Amino acid sequence: MTGSWFPGHMQKAVRLLEESARHIDLLVIVLDARLPYTTRNMILEKTFKRPGKLFILNKADLADPEITEIWIRHIRKSGVQAFQAEEGSRASLKKHIFSAAQKRKSGSIFKVMVAGVPNVGKSSIINRLSKGARAKVADLPGTTRGKQWIRLDEGIALLDSPGVIPPAINNPEARWRLAACGGIPLADDLAHLTAAGLLEYLKTNYSGCAHLFPENFSEFAMANNFLKPGGEPDTVRAEAFFLKKYNDGALGRFSLETPESTGSLY
């Protein structure tokens, strides 16, 4: 599945980002708090060597709070600012961006771009930041045509088009984890692998919460009355429902990576 769309998509994304990189002062990299290792993209960061960067661990409301804290401490140790965000966390988002902008040269406009893998919450963050912002301004050097700058404050502008970067899928584990968190589309073959991978991971790593997880998908189908016409349990539907519950936070708050389990990227 990755073979067909990944390379072209990646080349285009990198080209667009290279073009933008020249104009940006701060790159806000949005990560999924449940996957701060797998949603990081080193190609992007190499392209953006010059501007400062800052990590937001978004969807923290879905992640294990203790593990999110561990990640934040871990990333900060590498000398880069990191903080968590969730739906509605507008004031703290602004505070962190504005504090990064304190270092700007006087008189110049501090330009911010938000980037991250698909579905990680870039648009939501831009919307939260720009709510109530004054009219869009187009008098700054644009990146690609059609992109616009939103003025957040006298000296701070946000590029209103987020940088979508392809996820780095370098092993089968990364593939199901990304799919479980919505970072890649759930094609049919992947839905089964993802649901099975997620259930196994949760049972192993959150054994104290075993009562919150189904024993298996046949049982889960029966419990939810997901039956095929002949009365057999509809496990395909059960798997999809399980993934939806995970992403709605209805199972609980569970992270899928720790600095220890992934090795240090930061």
Ligand X SMILES: Nc1nc2c(ncn2[C@@H]2O[C@H](COP(=O)(O)OP(=O)(O)OP(=O)(O)O)[C@@H](O)[C@H]2O)c(=O)[nH]1
Residues engaged in binding Mg ion (CB under 5 A): 122-123
Of 157, 161, 257, 135, give the one whose Cα is nearest residue 202. 257
Give which of ligand X, Mg ion, none residue 118 binds (C-beta under 5 to 8 Å, depending on kind): ligand X
Residue 121 contacts ligand X per CB under 6 A: yes
Closer Cβ to ligand X, 100 or 126, answer by number: 126
Q: Which amino acid is at 266?
A: Y
SS3 209: helix
**Strands 81-84 and 110-116, bridge-based pairing:** unpaired
Residues numbered 47 to 66 that lie near ligand X (CB under 6 A) are 58-59, 61-62
Shortest distance (Å) from residue 37 CB to ligand X:
18
Paired tokens of 24: 């940006």
Q: Using N-to-C axis directions, what is the helix angle for 235-248 and 188-205, rounded to 10°?
A: 60
Instruction: Indicate which single residue of 124, 161, 194, 235 sits in contact with ligand X (rule: CB under 6 A).
Output: 124
**x/- contact string, 157-176, with ligand X (CB under 6 A)?**
-----x-x------------
**Strands 110-116 and 136-137, bridge-based pairing:** unpaired
Shortest distance (Å) from residue 107 CB to ligand X:
32
* Size of interface with ligand X, in residues (CB under 6 A): 17
Residues numbered 183 to 242 that lie near ligand X (CB under 6 A) are none
CA distance 35 to 45: 17
Residue 40 contacts ligand X per CB under 6 A: no
Give the CA distances from residue 59 to residues 25, 147, 216, 255, in Å, rounded to whole numbers and listed in that order.
25, 26, 27, 11
Contacts of 35 (CB under 8 A, 6+ apart): 177, 178, 181, 183, 255, 256, 257
Shortest distance (Å) from residue 216 CB to Mg ion:
35
**x/- contact string, 76-95, with ligand X (CB under 6 A)?**
---------xxx--------
Contact footprint for ligand X (CB under 6 A): 58-59, 61-62, 85-87, 116, 118-124, 162, 164
